[in-house]
Amino acid sequence: MRQTITKGTSRRQLVAVTKKIEGALISESPDAAALCREVRNELVLGEDEARRFLRRIVLDLNAAYFPAINTVDLMMTDRCTLACTYCFERRMTVKHEMTAETARAAVDFLVDYSGKAEKLYLCLFGGEPLMNFGVMQDCVAYAGKRVAAAGKKVRFDITTNGTLLTEETLDFFAAHGILPLLSVDGLAESHDSCRVDHAGNGSFARVGRAIELVFRKHNYVGVRMTVMPRNVPRFYDDIVGLHKLGVRSFLVGAAIGSDWPDDLMDFYGSELRRVLEWRDREAPKVRLTGDFEGKASHGVFGCRAGRNAVTVSTTGEISACATILGLNSVNLVKKLGDVEFGLTHFRHRFEFATAFRVKENCEKCGIAADYPGGCYANNYEETGDLYLPSLGRYRFEKIRCSHGLVQGAATQ
């Protein structure tokens, strides 16, 4: 492509424009459309050619300085059949649906930014992603072909509240090797305490039917469970009860932004341990992840958000992760770019890829030696800054450690 451009353009012109682009990309808020206009005027290009030129330069610079992207979460829709009380989607003032064009552009983005990664992951997310089932089907078919043509493999995941699951949707998932992850917070009392519909009615009866459907099809059900402080006393019984209904995999996460008194958090730590002991004793094949795992161990600072994983919004903007996107969907917090031009916001990409700012702040607080930065979204909710560590999260890691759930993490 650059060869085509160079036919009518001097090398000096090309170098000057490239330098200008590089300079703009490290500003706080690059304007890709304006840059594209400049490229067009200065190199006397057609609109499409100018876009391709800019996209290519952005891609090459990302490849030169940052890790490849192997995971993209796609926000298929901002709408939902439910209105859970803690949902970040509730903050979204304008609700969009992702179009087939945006979904395909997101797939192209993933393939282009995947470097040497051979296994790619596309997570179908929302809102309730099944509210946009037609676009989802198109996207899965397109991704299958596009990724195979690049000599790579793709795995799809979907997180759904289960209210729209049918035999038809499950057949579609089965045909593409997709095992849906159901959002379930426990048995009826726990689940219905927050997971309500738009009229305020609990949704457990509907999700119970979804568990039954998935179990009949796959003989295996996985759930994503958010633990609210008020549900901790029922946590153990919820896990054992859901297991009886067919759930075999639990991805569990405490709602850290809620109010957690020390003694309750400590009790939650002991209940996590109790569940692990139950699993080892009575259900050894059950998979327990999330808060059960030792993720606070040393190694890389920060999480994978913006490093090798990103989220594409319904309108095609790119954020470091779905939860960060939900912090402000109108003016993205630390936006990374969009599917049209790629990861244009270099300054933000650098901050996520290196985690240097969160590390620096953890060092200032004296916690860096035994805490690898936690969750950017938790940080923001507690401190108003993605890179200022949430001491609530730190406290939680200490408690998990005291119950033997985290190796080599905070102990003082």
Q: Which is nearer to ligand SF4, 37 or 91 (CB)?
A: 91
Among positive and negative, which fits the CA dihedral 278, 284, 183, 293? positive
CB of 84 to ligand SF4, least distance (A): 3
Which among 13, 22, 19 is positioned nearest to 42, based on CA atoms? 13
- The CA distances from residue 7 to 21, 41, 48, 70, 103, in Å, are 20, 16, 17, 35, 34
Q: Which is nearer to ligand SF4, 132 or 323 (CB)?
A: 323
CB of 24 to ligand SF4, least distance (A): 27
CB of 27 to ligand SF4, least distance (A): 24
- Beta-carbon count within 10 A of 384 CB: 8
What H or E segment, with its residue span, contains residue 170?
Answer: helix 167-175
Q: Which is nearer to ligand SF4, 23 or 253 (CB)?
A: 253
CB of 6 to ligand SF4, least distance (A): 41
Q: Which is nearer to ligand SF4, 341 or 380 (CB)?
A: 380
CB of 151 to ligand SF4, least distance (A): 28
CB of 295 to ligand SF4, least distance (A): 9
Q: Which is nearer to ligand SF4, 82 or 362 (CB)?
A: 82
CA atoms of 222 and 171, how far apart (whole Å): 17
Q: Which is nearer to ligand SF4, 67 or 144 (CB)?
A: 67
CA atoms of 406 and 391, how far apart (whole Å): 17
Q: Which is nearer to ligand SF4, 43 or 386 (CB)?
A: 386
Buried b / exposed e along 8-44 (16+ C-beta atoms within 10 A)? ebeeeebeebbeebeebbeeeebebeebbebbbeebe
Name the one residue in this structure whose structure tokens are 């054992």.
240
CB of 317 to ligand SF4, least distance (A): 16
Length reported for the chain: 412
Q: Which is nearer to ligand SF4, 210 or 375 (CB)?
A: 375
CB of 309 to ligand SF4, least distance (A): 7
In 3-state terms, what secondary structure has residue 181? strand
Residues that bind ligand SF4 (CB under 6 A): 80, 82-84, 87, 89, 126-128, 161, 183, 195, 303, 305, 321, 323-324, 375-377
- Beta-carbon count within 10 A of 237 CB: 14
Structure tokens at 203: 């949704």
CB of 57 to ligand SF4, least distance (A): 28
In 3-state terms, what secondary structure has residue 352? helix
Which among 214, 255, 215, 263 is positioned nearest to 231, based on CA atoms? 255
Which among 312, 330, 358, 274 is positioned nearest to 91, based on CA atoms? 330
Q: Which is nearer to ligand SF4, 304 or 403 (CB)?
A: 304
Q: Which is nearer to ligand SF4, 62 or 323 (CB)?
A: 323
Q: At what angle do helices 100-113 and 47-65 cross, to 10 degrees?
A: 40
CB of 94 to ligand SF4, least distance (A): 15
- Beta-carbon count within 10 A of 114 CB: 21
- The CA distances from residue 360 to 166, 368, 372, in Å, are 49, 8, 11
Structure tokens at 114: 């995947």
- The CA distances from residue 308 to 30, 116, 319, 412, in Å, are 21, 12, 12, 32
Structure tokens at 47: 């609109």
